[in-house]
């Protein structure tokens, strides 16, 4: 049973436009969420996170939004750049539990120049 779902396997966006990547989760105990970026032949690298006490966290061009009632989070990249082309993974954990991170299946973002 996939507790963290990324329903869009791929996304293409024009350079300079906004990229929106979506993630849904099923476990209401999750209270900490992360986004990772992964380039080919490399390990995932941390991008941005959000705690459930917030509904938005911003870091430069990257903003994560959390909608707890809908069990949904999204990553916005504005403006998108060709170097943002990568696979993006959403992850969630329950800090009252074992603190393990559960990842989604990933979304491959392609930013077109």
Partner 1 sequence: DAGVIQSPRHEVTEMGQEVTLRCKPISGHNSLFWYRQTMMRGLELLIYFNNNVPIDDSGMPEDRFSAKMPNASFSTLKIQPSEPRDSAVYFCASRPLQGTNTEAFFGQGTRLTVV
Please choose, out of 19-27, 32-40, 59-67, 75-83, the segment that lies near partner 1 by the rule CB under 8 A: 32-40
Which of 75, 104, 109, 111 is in the footprint of partner 1 by CB under 8 A? 104
Conformation bin of residue 40: beta by default, left when phi > 0, alpha when psi is -120 to 50:
beta
Among 49, 61, 79, 110, binds partner 1 (CB under 8 A): 49
Torsion over CA: 78, 47, 83, 2 (sign): negative
Minimum CB separation from partner 1 for residue 14, in Å? 26
Q: Compare residues 86 and 106 and give the one whose CB is closer to partner 1.
A: 106
- State which of residues 1, 60, 69, 100 lies at the interface with partner 1 (CB under 8 A): 100
Q: Considering the complex, what minimum distance in angstroms separates the CB of residue 73 from partner 1? A: 15
Check residue 103 for interaction with partner 1 (CB under 8 A): yes
The three-class DSSP label of residue 82 is helix
Q: Strand pairing of 32-38 and 45-51?
A: antiparallel
59 sits in which H/E element? strand 56-59
Binding of residue 105 to partner 1 (CB under 8 A): yes
Tokens linked to 102: 């559960």
Tokens of 34: 């992360």
């Amino acid at each position: 049973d996939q507790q963290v779902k990324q329903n869009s396997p791929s996304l293409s966006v024009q350079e300079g436009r906004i990229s929106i990547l979506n993630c849904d989760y099923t476990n209401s105990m999750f209270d900490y969420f992360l986004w990772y970026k992964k380039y080919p032949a490399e390990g995932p690298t941390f991008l941005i996170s959000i705690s459930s006490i917030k509904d938005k966290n911003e870091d430069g061009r990257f903003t994560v939004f959390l909608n707890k009632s809908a069990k949904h989070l999204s990553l916005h990249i504005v403006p998108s750049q060709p170097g943002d082309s990568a696979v993006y993974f959403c992850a969630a954990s329950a800090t009252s539990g074992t603190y393990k991170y559960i990842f989604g299946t990933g979304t491959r973002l392609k930013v077109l120049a």
